[in-house]
Amino acid sequence: MKYNEEALEKCLPKYLEKDLKNFKEGKKNKSKFLDCLICELQDSINCAYVDKEITEKQCDYLYRKYIYGGMNSDWLYKLRNK
């Protein structure tokens, strides 16, 4: 079952929206701090889920799209060694 992606990214807590925006900008600009940005985003997703500010579906979606999004297991190593 496919979920409406736009709906899953709505009504996020402000801190999660901020970290998501920072991650997207960092990825777009090929930031040398992308590893830090992804950790911040992962922490925010976890906190929002544990605090019941987002649903399990939102949590899974955000992880699939932004944390694991199309990257293989050695993506961070390759990023750091460019």
- Local confidence pLDDT in tens for the 82 residues of the chain: 455 777 888 889 999 999 999 999 999 999 999 999 999 999 999 999 999 999 999 999 999 899 987 454 455 555 555 5
pLDDT reported for residue 44: 97
Of 7, 18, 22, 68, nearest to 48 by C-alpha is 18
Residue the block writes with tokens 């906190």: 47
pLDDT of residue 15: 98
pLDDT at 70: 45
Cα atoms found within 13 Å of the Cα of residue 58, Cβ hemisphere only: 21
3-state secondary structure of 50: helix
